[in-house]
Chain A
Amino acid sequence: AQSVTQLDSHVSVSEGTPVLLRCNYSSSYSPSLFWYVQHPNKGLQLLLKYTSAATLVKGINGFEAEFKKSETSFHLTKPSAHMSDAAEYFCAHNNAGNMLTFGGGTRLMVKP
C-alpha cells in the first residue's frame, strides 16, 4: 500500500530564513509526487510535481523539492521565507493516475 508521511505537523521560521518541509513516501513502484499549498478556507494549489524526469523540481513562488529514491523522500525547500508563505502544505502521492494519497499536512508559520 502507498502512504505519505509528513514528518512535522508544524514548522516555524523567521521571515528571510530557509524553509524545509519534510515528506517521506512508500510505494512499490516509481511514484508521481506532488506538493500542494492550502491557505485558510481555500482549496489546494499545486506548488510542484515530480514525474520521473529531473530529480530536482522547481515550483512556483521560489519553492523546490528533491526526489531521493534511496531515502524515499521528497522534501520541500525555499531559500528565504516570506510572510505570505504561511499556510498548510500537503505532500501527495499519485496512485497510477487515479487517487492522490495525502500526508497529514505541515502548517508553516512565518515570524516577522
Chain B
Amino acid sequence: DTGVSQNPRHKITKRGQNVTFRCDPISEHNRLYWYRQTLGQGPEFLTYFQNEAQLEKSRLLSDRFSAERPKGSFSTLEIQRTEQGDSAMYLCASSLLQLAGGVTQYFGPGTRLTVL
C-alpha cells in the first residue's frame, strides 16, 4: 500500500493525558498537512509542512497542539493535557508541490481520538 498511513487508528485517553499521532505520507510527497474533523463537520486545517519546515501553524487550535516533521518524512501531531473537546478525527494528507496542475492532497484513514 503506497497511500498515506496513520497510526493509531483509534485512541482513547483520559482527560489531561498527552497523546501523539503519527502520519506517514506518500513517499515522494514533500508536503504534509494535518486537519481535524469533528462529528458532522468538514475537515478543518491545522498546519502543514514543506519537507521539514512547518510553514503554517497559526491554525493550530491552542498551544497544547504541536506538530513535527523532523526529517521531512513522517510527521507527528501531539496534543498535551487533552480535553473532552479534543475528541475528533485527526486527518493527515500529503501532496507533491508542482508548478502546474494544482496541488492535490491525498488523505490517510485518520486517527479517531476519544477523550473521556
Binding site for B on A (CB under 8 A): 4, 32, 34, 36, 41-46, 49, 51-52, 90, 92, 94, 97-105
Contact = CB atoms under 8 A, between A and B. Distances in A.
A35 B10 CA distance: 26
Contacts of B91: 43-44
B104 A49 contact: yes
Given A98-B56, A102-B43, A51 B107 contact: no
A43 B109 contact: yes
9 smallest CB-CB distances across A and B, nearest first, come from A102-B42, A51-B102, A99-B45, A97-B103, A44-B107, A32-B102, A43-B109, A43-B107, A43-B110
Contact of B102 (A4, A36, A94): A94
Nearest to A33: B102
Q: Report the contact-size class of chain B (Cβ under 8 Å from the partner).
A: 20 to 34
Given A51-B101, A94-B103, A42 B110 contact: yes
Interface string B94-109: 0001000111111111
Interface of B: 4, 6, 33, 35, 40-45, 48, 55-56, 59, 91, 93, 97, 101-110, 112
Contacts of A101: 45
A105 B43 CA distance: 9
Contacts of A34: 104
B107 A99 contact: no
Nearest to A99: B45
A41 B59 contact: no
B81 to A, nearest CB: 26
Contacts of B41: 104-105
Contacts of A100: 33, 35, 43, 45, 93, 105
A17 B91 CA distance: 33
Contacts of B59: 99
A76 to B, nearest CB: 14
A103 B48 contact: no
Contacts of B40: 105
Nearest to A104: B42
